[in-house]
Amino acid sequence: MATNITTSYAGLTLKNPIIAAASPLTATADQCRELEKAGVAAIVIKSIFEQSIAHNAHRLADMQSHGEEADYLDAYIGEQMIGEWRTTLREIEAATTIPIIASIACHTTEAWVRYAKIATEERMDALELNLMNIGLASKRTDNGTIEQQFIDAINAVRSVSTLPITVKLAVNLTNPASLAERMKACGVKGIVLFNRPYPIDIDIEKREYIAGHTLSCLSDLSTPLRWTGLLSAEVSNIDYALSGGVHTWQDVVKAILAGASAVQLCSTLYNSGLSLVQTMLHNIAEWQEAQNEETLEGYRGKMNASKEEYANELKRIQYLHFKA
């Protein structure tokens, strides 16, 4: 029996369910060309962060001058960085044949609009809005404020771009199902579960914050797997991609069974190299054949919360039995 591992994500037809997540691995045309050769079905280009551009431009300007001259240099350097990002998009688009998704992360409407326009002009295949705002975690922030800012960002992007919009959410949300429904109503085509914030740790001798462990581990799969199973049942007619903790071909199959259309890989590519992709694809196809599943779509969501027996497991919040 011939097996078919193609899938559809956010209106894009993918030859398989593996997407290279936004990371330093997807920062240049040469890197993206190598990822395509390795077999990934789509690439999310390394995110452009509005705050990072502003911070770096301001720092460089301050190092070289002061006063009005520093303000001028600040703006000039910022424009230069955005121009370099545009050039990178153009080079990657020209170097690849698979779908390319531009990832943007902003905190002002002006930047959301500007970056979305650039990605559209440079013929990206879709947008991924990196929606995170831990900075609003304040007792003075009313319930729903963060979610409304997400919706406002989506509407701003939608007003200037015809590209399919996907969003990458953080895990610290009050009601992801309600937010997903609102996002679908705004025209969002895909949701990525979940974003990983910058990892932090504490050096207890120096009493300072330091970078934590950057790469994901196998246990990180549990949370996005659970929420993929819950949301794909609760909010249908929108595609889900699972991100975080996907390290083996079995993890890919689990994500599909839970209701994902695709997965995003990053840490495992750092750990095991790009050759892992072909191994994953081969094993997924073999598993499908052994399970008499001709297509990936045939088993997508077969273990999500729309089935009572699986809903009970996905919604369980305590141990029934535990042995150390």
> What residue segments make up the domains of the chain, in order of their start?
7-314
DSSP secondary structure of 149-185:
HHHHHHHHHHTT--SPEEEEE-S--S-HHHHHHHHHH
Of 149, 123, 152, which Cα lies nearest the Cα of 135?
149
Q: What dotted CATH number matches 7-314?
A: 3.20.20.70
| Residue 97: burial class (beta carbons within 10 Å; 0-12, 13-18, 19+) | exposed
Q: Name beta bridge partners: 48.
A: 104
- The pLDDT of residue 232 is 98
Give pLDDT tens digits along the chain (324 positions): 668 999 999 999 999 999 999 999 999 999 999 999 999 999 999 999 887 665 554 555 455 555 554 454 556 677 888 999 999 999 999 999 999 999 999 989 999 999 999 999 999 999 999 997 655 567 777 778 889 999 999 999 999 999 999 999 988 888 899 999 999 999 999 999 998 877 899 999 999 999 888 888 888 999 999 999 999 999 999 999 999 999 999 999 999 999 999 999 999 999 999 999 999 999 999 999 999 999 999 999 999 999 999 998 998 876 655 555
Q: Mapping DSSP to helix (H, G, I), strand (E, B) and coil, where does residue 263 land?
A: strand
Q: Mapping DSSP to helix (H, G, I), strand (E, B) and coil, where does residue 38 land?
A: helix
Distance of CA 186 to the CA centre of its chain: 19
- The pLDDT of residue 277 is 98
- The pLDDT of residue 57 is 47
DSSP secondary structure of 58-84:
HHHHHHH--HHHHHHHHHHHHHHHHHH
The one-letter amino acid code at 8 reads S
Q: Mapping DSSP to helix (H, G, I), strand (E, B) and coil, where does residue 309 land?
A: helix
Q: Mapping DSSP to helix (H, G, I), strand (E, B) and coil, where does residue 107 land?
A: coil
**257/290 Cα distance (integer angstroms):** 15
- The pLDDT of residue 72 is 46
